[in-house]
Structure formats: C-alpha cells, structure tokens
Amino acid sequence: MPFGSYIRDLRECRHSDDRSYSLRQVAQRVGIEPAYLSKIEREVASPPSEATIRRIADDLGENPDLLLAMAGKVSKDLQEIIIRRAPLFADLLRNLREAPDHAVLRIVREVRDGDW
Amino acid sequence: MPFGSYIRDLRECRHSDDRSYSLRQVAQRVGIEPAYLSKIEREVASPPSEATIRRIADDLGENPDLLLAMAGKVSKDLQEIIIRRAPLFADLLRNLREAPDHAVLRIVREVRDGDW
DNA sequence: AGTACTGTGTAGTACACAGTACATAATAAC
DNA sequence: GTTATTATGTACTGTGTACTACACAGTACT
C-alpha cells in the first residue's frame, strides 16, 4: 500500500470516533498546510520529509520506521549506524537479505541479551 | 577524512606510478567533466550521486560502500533491504549500534553459514 | 617558443524536494 | 437554510542536487 492512502485510512479510522482527526486538525498539529496534507494523502504530492513523517506518525500513533519505509525512506539515525562501519554493516545486511524473519528476530534477541 | 580529500589522495597515489590517473583521464573514464571532479576533490562541490561514486570507486579500485559512507550516503540496495522489513531491521540495527566489530562479524559468519 | 598536458574559476542549466497561499467546492451542524 | 467546517484545485516560491560548458593558468617537454 502506498504511503498516502495508508495514512488517509489511518486518519479516517481515528476520525470515525474522534472528531479531532480531521485533515485540517491533523495538519495543524503536524505543522503543515491542510492543502499539502490533502495532496500527500491523495498522492498528488510525494511523501514529505523525514521530520514531517515522524510528526505524522506521532500524531496518528503509528510506527515511524514503518511509515518512513512506506515513503521509501530509511531513518537518518539508522543510516548513521551503517555509515559509521559501512563495509561491515553492508556485509551483514546483504547476508540477511534472504534470511527469514524468525532468524533475524533470533539475532535481535541474541544481541539484546548479548554478553560480548 | 572527508570524501574529497580521500579520493584525491587515492587518485594521486595511483597517479604516481600510472600516468593514466590524472584528474582529466579519471574524469573522462568516470564520465564527468574534469572541472566537476576537481571541485569534488577540493570539496568545493559536495560529493556526487551514488552512481558516480560507484564509477569512481570502480576506477580507483576502492570499496564502493566505504566511499559512499564517506559521502554520507547509504547504498540504495541496502536501503531496499531495510525498507522491505523496516521495523524488524530498525530494531536489529539499533541493537547493534554499540556492539563491537567482532560481535557483528561473528553474526555475519553465523548468518552466512546459517541453516535456518 | 610552441604544443600538450595538467588542474581550476566562473557561470549557468535542469530538475526534484518541501513546502506556502489563496480561492473554491463539498459536507455537516445547528 | 445559513453558518461553520471540511477537503481540494491551482499557482507559485525557495532551496538543494547533480551536473555541463568554456575560458584560463601553470608546468613540462622538445
């Protein structure tokens, strides 16, 4: 699903039982013009900047990494992590490309409880 | 070390025993204007596009992921890998942020020989 | 002294990104 | 049934990216 329709659905879902989730009010809280948010939702405009996506995610209560991904973006903080040790992490990621979710999850847990 | 000075040093090193590594000739092989490469090397211009960095890496025999990192960029193919499973990989990377190199390397090997 | 190479200065192009501003049309509330 | 609110259409702006084109200047050979 594209970014625009996704956040529109999400917002309309919130709107259905909370009147403060109109396009205008969300736009105001997020700090952009309603016309611009309208265009984003209808995919007339491409997804906004990372900062704006984060504020939208915050307002709609959605995972920011997921929204960024739907917008075709990778969070700046993740990019930083990779850039610091580029060849190493490049290698890791390319090796994990085809790994099934559960294998990656196992590694996440292993690392989190890791005693190196 | 910044991107510009790094590739200048690298090129001049090659140049010292191979005359075909002049700024002009490298620029021609890479497919950009010499004046532009000059500006990149002196950091008058910011680093070029990913595609151009790849061609430079290729010509100078350097690791493309390393050059991209020095330019503050993350390779598009790596971004793709993350984007496909954003929340999962975001979690993994943030957990690996502080992990020492050898721990990451161990995981790389583990995954490469992995039987899931 | 001429030519052949080396790098650099200046100027400008084309296009994408991230929006604003205002007018108008549709819908809901009272 | 008018007022208030909602969503859209159109037009425009400023900033960054990724370059090109061409003229100029220094050095090296011969």
Q: Do A107 and B107 touch (CB under 8 A)?
A: yes
Question: Is the pLDDT reported for residue B81 higher than 90?
Answer: yes
**Residue A33 domain-assigned (yes or no):** yes
Question: Is the pLDDT reported for residue A65 higher than 70?
Answer: yes
pLDDT value of position B113: 85
Q: Of A66, A93, A103, which has the smallest distance from its Cβ to B81's Cβ? A: A93
- Between A102-116, B16-30, B96-110, the lowest mean confidence (pLDDT) is in A102-116
- d(CA B34, nearest CA chain A) in Å: 28
The range of the structural domain enclosing residue B100 comes to: 85-112
Q: Specify whether B54 is located in the same domain as B89.
A: no
The contacts of residue B68 (CB under 8 Å, 6+ apart) are A86, B50, B53, B54, B57, B74, B75
Question: Is the pLDDT reported for residue B61 higher than 70?
Answer: yes
Kindly state whether B45 is in contact with chain A, defined as any CB-CB distance less than 8 angstroms.
no
Q: Specify whether B15 is located in the same domain as B51.
A: yes
**Residue B79 domain-assigned (yes or no):** no
**Residue A54 domain-assigned (yes or no):** yes
**Of the candidates A22, A18, A48, which has an alpha carbon nearest to the alpha carbon of residue A36?**
A48
A40 close to A52: Cβ distance less than 8 angstroms: no
Q: Specify whether A108 is located in the same domain as A56.
A: no
| d(C-alpha B8, C-alpha A109), whole Å | 43
**Residue A34 domain-assigned (yes or no):** yes
pLDDT value of position A10: 96
| d(C-alpha A5, C-alpha A40), whole Å | 9
The contacts of residue A96 (CB under 8 Å, 6+ apart) are A104, B81, B89, B92, B111
Kindly state whether A76 is in contact with chain B, defined as any CB-CB distance less than 8 angstroms.
no
Q: Specify whether A91 is located in the same domain as A34.
A: no
Mean pLDDT for A46-65 is: 97
- Per the structure, the count of domains in chain A is 2
**Residue A79 domain-assigned (yes or no):** no
**Residue B102 domain-assigned (yes or no):** yes
Round the average pLDDT of chain A to a whole number and report it: 95
| d(C-alpha A86, C-alpha A64), whole Å | 24
What amino acid is encoded at A102 in this protein?
H
Q: Specify whether A30 is located in the same domain as A65.
A: yes
